[in-house]
Amino acid sequence: MMDSRTIAGPKPSLLMEQHKHNFTKSEHKIYEYILSNPNQVLYHSLTELSELSGVAEATVLRFFRKLGFKGFQDFKFLFAQEVPAADHSENDESFIYRIRNNIIQAVEDTSDVVDAETLEKCIRAINDSSDVVIFGIGSSGIAGLDMQNRLMRIGKHVSVITDSHFQIMRASSLNENSVVIAISLTGSTKDIIDAVKIAKEKNAAVIALTTYVKSPLTKYADHILLSSAKESPLDSGSLVSKIAQLYLIDLICTGLTMNNFKDAESVKREITEHIASKLY
């Protein structure tokens, strides 16, 4: 569902045009890249835009704030409303297949980019820690809750925190024996990054579940597991991207189950018996 916020004032492209005579040399690079790659920009992280335009991240942020935006994400949301969208005038039957194909493609693409060695390191880190904390906000928080459910069912003690203030408090109590699983599709959610930065200062291990190999989040990550379902700002929280996240979570949880098969099966059996008493 589209955010209720719409463009109220000059379009982002018009704003850039109006201010381009005041752009510095670096800002002109950003401007030219956006004009040449409007659709691609919607799927970039801040770090990717910085690298592809050949300009420092701080300069990119100043560029958008100079135009009156809060940051890159704010710009992308409004810019997505003026970039011509793909034609989705297909009939009801074809949109059913289109969604199915998008989901299948997201899982297949994510499977292709998963590094088996990194996955094993993530599984080992979680397995060896008795202090596992999951950070996620919004749609990623929902994925985090599912991960908590999966891990609890195999006997792993884990907590998920979806409130940004609680994340900061919990991060402050971590230590070198703690493991943080940070879930963020863009890797640019400021609240998550603020909490993860504190976690690193406390020497906790950080696992990032994200789509972008280079983002503010991955700078603090010890292990990076990539999904392959980028979304435009107008598709934020889409089912396709969430399924890609859940696929990574399933890989981790299945790996943990395999490493502790007997104990995991025993816990799962006991939980099933207790839950059965809740059913008529």
Q: What is the pLDDT of residue 86?
A: 46
Given a cut of 70, is residue 46 above it in pLDDT?
A: yes
Q: Who contacts 120 (Cβ-Cβ below 8 Å, separation ≥6)?
A: 255
More confident residue, 270 or 9: 270
Given a cut of 90, is residue 177 above it in pLDDT?
A: yes
Report the pLDDT averaged over residues 25-42: 91
**Residue 276: which pLDDT band, with cuts at 50, 70 and 90?**
low
Cα 31 from Cα 16, distance rounded (Å): 7
Amino acid in the structure at residue 46: L
Amino acid in the structure at residue 9: G
More confident residue, 15 or 6: 15
Q: What is the pLDDT of residue 3?
A: 42
Q: What are the b/e assignments for 240-268, b being 16+ CB within 10 Å?
A: bbbbbbbbbbebbbebbbeebeeebeebe
DSSP string, 212-245: -SSSTTGGG-SEEEE------GGGTT-HHHHHHH
- As given in the structure block, the two tokens for residue 38 are 């409007």
Question: 196-254: per-residue pLDDT in tens?
Answer: 999 999 999 999 999 877 788 999 999 999 887 655 555 555 678 888 899 999 999 99
Q: Who contacts 29 (Cβ-Cβ below 8 Å, separation ≥6)?
A: 53, 54, 55
Amino acid in the structure at residue 22: N
